[in-house]
Amino acid sequence: MRVNHISERFNQVQDAISQACHRARRREEEITLIAVTKTWPAEVVQAATEVGLTDFGENKVQELIAKAPLFPENKWHMIGHLQRNKARQVMTHAQDFHALDNLRLAGTLNRLAAEAGRIFPCFIQVNVSREDSKFGITPDGVGEFVIASEEFESIKIKGLMTLASPDIRKVREEFQLLRSIRNKHERLIGTGLSMGMSGDYEIAIEEGATHIRLGSALFGVRQ
Ligand SMILES: *Cc1c(COP(=O)(O)O)cnc(C)c1O
């Protein structure tokens, strides 16, 4: 992966972000671009860091712990499903967690954060497309989850996260649904909306995304 490819792709992505913001009358500063480096080696993280990317995402703990310590200046986001026995590693290496999908995991993260004397920021993953293959709380279950997680004082719910369905015709509605669920719970959770990947981030921005997670748009097709 040559650096100039990344910088070209990054420029294109920045243009697209800026245009989507313009259409939606939003400011670019409202949006955090997370570079998803899953499957790519540390050299790619290095190149992406050099062109100015600062936020990185991994969906597997193994990859997170292999790469994050090499780039301590970057901000690391764990964006994939997490098992409780690996929660400690994630807390050590990631600053934000985007895939909180069950209360037992919330309890474990809360205990570890309390032990470490810190507050750990999490997004609740919501399965807006209701696909069986996807992790996440059902849209109807979010209210109960939010109320139950009130007791966990050492995790901070920054907002909601989703993966939209592969059917591009459904995507906008799904992002709107995530936003409306967030609005409904705005007194108890943060305003974050982690939504939008390479194929749908412009729609996500139009619908209010605060965090977009891009892999192939920045790095090409994964091997
Ligand atoms: C892989 C992945 C992405 C990025 O996917 P692209 O389509 O390559 O942009 C975003 N979010 C999650 C949770 C992922 O696993």
Q: Which residues of the chain have pLDDT under 50?
A: none
Helix then strand then coil, % of the chain, to nearest 5 = 50, 20, 35
pLDDT at 223: 77
- Tens digits of residue pLDDT in 22-73: 999 999 999 999 999 999 999 999 999 999 999 999 999 999 999 999 999 9
- 196 CB contacts (<8 Å, ≥6 apart)? 164, 175, 202, 203, 204, 205, 209, 212, 213, 214
Residue nearest atom 6 of ligand 1, based on CA coordinates = 215
Instruction: Say what the pLDDT of residue 103 is.
Output: 98
What are phi and psi for residue 139, nearest 5 degrees? -55, -40
Q: Which atom, in ligand 1's list, is nearest to the CA of 99?
A: 13
Instruction: Give the global pTM.
Output: 0.97
- Residue 37 CA, ligand 1 centroid: distance in Å: 9
